[in-house]
Amino acid sequence: MSDLTVDQRAHTVRSFNRFYTRQIGVLHEHLLESEFSLTEVRILYELAHRADLTTSDLCRELGLNAGYLSRVISGFEKKGLVVKSRSATDARVAHLELTDHGRATFAPLDQASQREVIAMLERLPQTAQQQLVDAMEQIRTLLSDPEPGFILREPQPGDMGWIVHRQAVLYAREFGWNAEYEALVAEIVAKFVREFDPKRERCWIAEKDGKPVGSVFVVRQDDATAKLRLLAVEASARGLGIGHRLVDECIRFARYAGYRKLVLWTNSVLTDARRIYERAGFTLVEEQPHHSFGQDLIGQNWALDL
């Protein structure tokens, strides 16, 4: 395979694309025998799973033409599926949201799609299912950003110790937190290593120029709920979208693992992290003042329905 020319590799990619579209049936004019096209269902999916999306967000993330998307959204509005609301900070920006009718319309499509994919997977033994998912994950990672400036990878020996060290240093330097926080991080990491369930838990390390610069965990809270923990990005690597990408991976994995909700605990002083959570669709559930890590803080619980 390494001796192939770029033209031959392109032919292999195109051949795979044709094969896979046949597998998932996306060549049908309408998806799942509904009135909606594949693209329309993709738009409904994004609106169902993320808050405060704008038309610009959808154009960018789905690669859609602005004029085409405008016509689709107008059609959705006429059917009572979508409502627009003007941004409180910029009147030129309209946020999109599914109505109750829109969510009720999308729900059976989402369930039918899930059943079809499960049926496709169940033709394979479990080991082959995992190989397929791992290969898809690798394709996604390679194609998400051709040159993102960083990669996400699984932990390697020494990474867990690095996480404890860098979390302690970053939070002491930026927020004045004491050794109590380092002890908490060490406990979380040790529990993850001792009780790790690869089907329901995951850790990602963000690496830039061969060095770790960020990390995050998804751990099991109960059968229906996953918990996002210990999101952190080195100051030198901020602004590259690493935090957003780490959170997106957590959400994607939690859905794949079958959780119905993803929750997290943070503090109000962590404004950059809170913006990432809000952008990803998390909502603030409750706040409570507490004294921890040598500081007076306001703890916050956030949740995202999957």
Alpha-carbon gap, residue 169 to 182, rounded angstroms: 9
Last residue in a domain, options 104, 123, 142: 123
pTM above 0.75, yes or no: no
How confident is the model at residue 27, as a pLDDT? Answer: 42
At 213, is the pLDDT very low, low, confident or very high (cuts 50, 70, 90)?
Answer: very high
- On average, the pLDDT of the chain sits at 86
How confident is the model at residue 49, as a pLDDT? Answer: 80
38 and 158 assigned to the same domain: no
How confident is the model at residue 145, as a pLDDT? Answer: 57
176 and 296 assigned to the same domain: yes
Dump the DSSP string for 190-246: HHHHHH--TTT-EEEEEEETTEEEEEEEEEESSSSEEEEEEEEE-GGGTTSSHHHHH
- Residue with tokens 């930026």, as numbered in its chain: 174
| DSSP state letter for 95 | E
243 and 117 assigned to the same domain: no
What CATH number does residue 96 fall under?
A: 1.10.10.10
How confident is the model at residue 264, as a pLDDT? Answer: 96
119 and 155 assigned to the same domain: no
Return left, alpha or beta for 63; rule: phi > 0 is left, psi -120 to 50 is alpha, else beta. left
84 located within any domain: yes
Last residue in a domain, options 105, 123, 141: 123
184 and 297 assigned to the same domain: yes
pLDDT (tens digit per residue) in 49-106: 876 778 888 887 787 888 888 899 999 999 999 998 876 666 667 788 899 999 999 8
133 located within any domain: no
Question: Is residue 96 within 8 Å of 53, Cβ to Cβ?
Answer: yes
297 and 155 assigned to the same domain: yes
pLDDT (tens digit per residue) in 22-62: 776 654 545 556 778 778 888 888 888 876 778 888 887 78
Residue span of the structural domain in which 88 resides: 6-123
How confident is the model at residue 170, as a pLDDT? Answer: 92
What CATH number does residue 183 fall under?
A: 3.40.630.30
144 located within any domain: no
158 and 294 assigned to the same domain: yes
pLDDT (tens digit per residue) in 223-274: 999 999 999 999 888 888 899 999 999 999 998 888 999 999 999 999 989 9
158 located within any domain: yes
139 located within any domain: no
215 and 280 assigned to the same domain: yes
Position 229, amino acid: R
156 and 301 assigned to the same domain: yes
If one counts the domains in the chain, the total is 2
196 and 296 assigned to the same domain: yes
102 and 175 assigned to the same domain: no
157 and 231 assigned to the same domain: yes
pLDDT (tens digit per residue) in 159-204: 999 999 999 999 999 999 999 999 999 999 999 999 999 889 999 9
274 located within any domain: yes
Cβ neighbours of residue 96 under 8 Å, at least 6 residues apart? 47, 53, 54, 55, 58, 73, 82, 83, 84
Q: Is the pLDDT of residue 1 over 60?
A: no
